[in-house]
Amino acid sequence: MLEDTGLTGVLKDGEEAVYAVGEHFLSLVTFLGCAPQISLTDEAAVQGQPVCRICLHDFDAVQLLESQPASTLRCAACRTPQRRPSEPEHNQQLTCPECGESSPLFRFDWRRSAAFGCFFVEIENVFPHEAVPADRLMEALEALSGHGWDYFYLSR
């Protein structure tokens, strides 16, 4: 289905769920900044620059993918920094000591540096915060899956 949208192209040799970018990639992902540096194919890759790839991650149970170092977790209501649980669970209820807002952990503000989920579409080798999924991509993912989608940036 992702291939039909033009997000993904051919499966990379020897890989299970890693794809080249598809023919509509540049209309599905918007690049901010005046001169984004991206290489879309091996042939056109700038010397020393890794090529953009799409990796699918499919987990049986909800996982937390989190940047290293992690951003400060904040209350979504009042923005107060929160103590991060040592073993975060997505549905774990947390109460903000500042404003009393109580929500499951996944609703707190992870500052787009982490996310809980079972299925992830990772776009590799773009600069964090330079690439933003276009509305068209988010709508296509929602239509394909029947669920809402969000995005974040994973630094490792």
Q: Is 99 a residue that touches Zn ion (CB under 5 A)?
A: yes
Closer residue to Zn ion in complex, CB, 21/75: 75
Q: Is 76 a residue that touches Zn ion (CB under 5 A)?
A: no
Per rule CB under 5 A, count of chain residues that contact Zn ion: 8
The tokens describing 107, both together, are 């609703």
Closer residue to Zn ion in complex, CB, 75/131: 75
**Residue 108 burial by Cβ neighbours in a 10 Å radius (0-12, 13-18, 19+):** buried
Q: Is 98 a residue that touches Zn ion (CB under 5 A)?
A: yes
Q: H or E segment at 128?
A: none
Let me know how long the chain is: 156
| Least separation in angstroms between CB 73 and Zn ion | 11
Stretch that binds Zn ion, among 14-22, 46-54, 97-105, 119-127 (CB under 5 A): 97-105
Q: H or E segment at 2?
A: helix 2-5
List all residues 6 or more positions away from 25 whose beta carbon is below 8 Å from its beta carbon: 6, 7, 9, 40, 52
Q: Is 121 a residue that touches Zn ion (CB under 5 A)?
A: no
Residue where the block lists tokens 């997505």: 90
CA nearest 103: which of 92, 87, 113, 117? 92
Q: Is 107 a residue that touches Zn ion (CB under 5 A)?
A: no
Q: Which of 38, 51, 54, 96 binds Zn ion (CB under 5 A)?
A: 96
Stretch that binds Zn ion, among 34-42, 78-86, 119-127, 140-148 (CB under 5 A): 78-86
Q: Which residues bind Zn ion (CB under 5 A)?
A: 75, 77-78, 80, 96, 98-99, 101
